[in-house]
Chains A and B, each alone.
Chain A
């Protein structure tokens, strides 16, 4: 019994030492894969600049601050501080995750933005929604109906092996709606994403954004997660 207890104590001490030695990996603002005005006239350069340099940067900065405070609280064993920081971590961390995906979801028209998905993702969309246009209508409807701030997602459910349209509130990342959901495409419907250009006509923004969606990226993520074997053999 005494032996067991001394093993427990020494492993506890090792854990404590390991925790203090843990280094923090801070978030950094990813660069935009295109220039700020590259998505015009769908999304203005002014919006892209503010959205990337101010909003996303703020999420990164505040996430890093929250992370440092969390690190300190965890080291001190301050449980109530740890719990109290969760909402700041979720909000700012979520903002960073969501926007990082968003920049990759967009692409200038002259680089293939707006090109509909082909191959496996195209087939999966037809299976799960009936048609590509049906998917767009559904996402627009869900985005328009979302009250307040949030995101509308095209998600792939790894477990059920099917696509889903989901919405999340504020900066909640998609996993808050299901641990098996992988984001293929996210559309920011916070007012800051469109207000300077579209004012309150959110539906106009949603209808137009499809012209600059990067389906190639969505297809890559989908194929990696779905790990289909080549279905062309079956379809013969």
Chain B
């Protein structure tokens, strides 16, 4: 508007104005940068208010029409496995692979193709730039240098009428050396989902269940498996020797690696991975009256999966199962006085605005604000840090959308199981 006015008034001033403004900006650069910086910070603080709630297009995915199909039978199966695992644990360690053997037996019983995946734990270092270098030779040298072994258990359900081009991966990490109750529960949960899916006939994609041996960290076991899935090393001459010499623990298993007449050491595949979900049952939290489902999504270098995946899970968890959904947040921030103060100011401002015009509805309560700010902060922190927040990070390196859910409840409830079954259907 002013420019127009100027133009009408004195047409010659127009080029001069631009130069004038530019020189003005340059001469007051410090002031302007401070102003911009403050504006940015204010915008950041306002983010939780301005955030719109996400939604999923019902036309495309129809999560609303998903039905719970989990039955009491599945739950009893899960609890049976949990009981077995805890009993094995009590009996004392014999070979270190009792649990793996138990799981694989159960998987074979429901009619899945099973195999063990032996891996050598890599150094826990995180390489942010490994994503860019497609050097498969480095993997060989790396695994030679390290001697600790882990054993993943993998089961595959072939979709009865599918063509086997795609697969969905379920992962349940557990510590095989010392299985705590929540690890056992997550295994039970994983198994009951798996056995349920093995009985249904509507599957279009194959289902892979990876019971990841996370005694050397959740990330390394999953990434080792993924590496073997995507970039297998065929020249194994040196590695085999290395394996045999270091394999004191596994000698026992070598003899018994035939199950129901099938070789369980052969690596099997099931097509291109479409999505992956990591299930965990977290520590019990007494604080909240409702069961909590926490979603972790950040992968290495701040990559995020398709938002639909998060939204579908969120939708089903909140609207169908009455879960309380957290998307990873910095707990310390929630209670910080300073944030609450900002929240209160904003709340007051919001109320004022609401009074001025009822349509200006941007006020939120200070507690909500603090929570939102904590979520934003944690998301920013994890994305900036570039370190994956869970084993789903390994999938993102291979361009597979993956998230981790961590359930935590006061009691072990049935609807937890139902919940996960939903998520599968929706996805």
Partners in one complex: no
